[in-house]
Amino acid sequence: MKAQRGLGLLAALTFAALASLPAQAQSWPNRPVKVIMASAAGSAPDVIARIVTDRLSQLWGQQVLILNRPGAGGLIAQQALAASERDNLTLYMPSSSSLVVLPETNSKLPLDLQRDLVPIGLVGDQPFLIVAGNHMNVATLPELIALAKQKPGELTYAANFRGSLPNMTAEMFASAAGLQLTFVPYPGAPQGLQDVLGGRVSVMVEGIAAFTGALQSNSVKPLAVTSPRRLPNYPNVPTVAETLPGFDSRGWFVVMALAGMPDEVVRKINADLRTALDQPEVRSRFETLATYIRHLSPAETGDFIRAEQAVWRPIVKKVGVVN
């Protein structure tokens, strides 16, 4: 019964939104929609995308298919998008690193962000968490900073591959705190966490969802979240900004399309995305994945992406990421 009420609400909201749209947008989509993303099936971004696309399928009355094209820091997904049919039925859901790191490290991308892509909306953001292995015997971020300054270059941190946003976040933190930390790259969060738990790596930076089990078992010490404010479901974990004012680093997911999609269709997708994300069940599931919904218009989404690129450009150059 509850599910039926939810579907009825979605249908009512959809009808109300369609009534104010031009005929071309009202009839969109008339066939299944594809969503290309760079994350592997079963990964946290993939889970988030499937929560969203499930609701959009209900709203649109058409199947929304996710095409996972992982690899090369997002390049493979972008190549797949560039090769896709220009039918206005293919969407692109890149994670932040595909838009802020990849353009700075690869001068021969198949698509130009400004010329070839149109922003549609922001799905949400994911703060990162800095944790220390219990073997480190540090309880707070200031204690970690003090220890790192006593042992320059000796403390190590685990993060995904060089150029990933966790890697960039750790480098931003080290720069802001005046530290020398040694980066130990891993192909995925589970491998890095195992070495932190085993005492082989000092600290780790990753999305909070990667640490759920370790936090519940007190196997690691959460030192700080990288969002500007404490998180509602982790109120006892300080922010990095409480120690280093102004610090802010979050991963995020946006929806985009190839340039040429009609403006009224872009507006329709943005409105339907907002409707899908505002469902209580979606918000609840997002929070379990430490993902926080943010609504932006298409224009605001474009401004947001450009602002993030400006923030990360000097960090990427400093680290010297090369693909």
- The structural domains of the chain, with segments of one domain joined by +, span 2-125+251-319, 126-242
> Could you tell me the pLDDT band of residue 307, with boundaries at 50, 70 and 90?
very high
Q: What percent of the chain has pLDDT over 70?
A: 92
Q: Around Cβ 159, how many Cβ atoms within 10 Å?
A: 25
pLDDT at 117: 97
For residue 244, the tally of other CB atoms under 10 A from its CB is 18
Answer whether residue 195 shows pLDDT above 60. yes
pLDDT of residue 44: 82
pLDDT tens column, 50-89: 999 999 999 999 999 999 999 888 999 999 999 999 999 9
Q: What pLDDT, on a 0 to 100 scale, did the predictor assign at position 24?
A: 59
pLDDT at 318: 80
Q: What is the pLDDT of residue 157?
A: 98
> Fold for domain 2-125+251-319?
D-Maltodextrin-Binding Protein; domain 2 (3.40.190)
Supply the pLDDT for residue 322. 53
What's the topology of domain 126-242? Answer: D-Maltodextrin-Binding Protein; domain 2 (3.40.190)
Rounded Cα distance between 176 and 164, Å, is 18
pLDDT, position 23: 60
Q: What is the pLDDT of residue 238?
A: 98
pLDDT at 293 over 70: yes
pLDDT at residue number 15: 55
Tell whether the model's pLDDT for residue 312 goes beyond 70.
Answer: yes
Average pLDDT over residues 254-279: 97
Please check the confidence at residue 101 and state whether its pLDDT lies above 70.
Answer: yes
- Using pLDDT thresholds of 50, 70 and 90, give the confidence band for residue 168: very high
How many Cα atoms within 13 Å fall on the side-chain side of residue 267?
Answer: 12
The pLDDT of 190-198, averaged and rounded, is 95
Pairing relation of β-strands 64-68 and 250-258? unpaired
Residue 26's pLDDT band (boundaries 50, 70, 90)?
A: confident
Query: Do the domains 2-125+251-319 and 126-242 sit in the same CATH topology, yes or no?
Result: yes
Backbone φ and ψ of 257, nearest 5°: -145, 165
Average pLDDT, the chain: 91
Rounded to two decimals, the pTM is: 0.85
Burial status of residue 320 (CB atoms within 10 A of its CB: 0-12, 13-18, 19 or more):
exposed
Closest by CA position to 116, among listed 95, 99, 131, 130: 99
Amino acid identity at 186: Y
Residue 27: its pLDDT value, please? 85
104-120 per-position pLDDT tens digit: 888 889 999 889 999 99
Residue bearing the bigger pLDDT, 300 or 287: 300
250-258 vs 90-92, strand pairing mode: antiparallel
Which pLDDT value is given to residue 231? 93
Instruction: Calculate mean pLDDT across residues 19-34.
Output: 77
Give the pLDDT of residue 45: 87
- Write out pLDDT tens, residues 142-166: 999 999 999 999 999 999 888 889 9
In this structure, what token pair is assigned to residue 160? 């995904």
Mean pLDDT of the region 229-245: 95
Pair 170, 157: CB distance under 8 Å: yes
What tokens were used for 249?
Answer: 């680093």
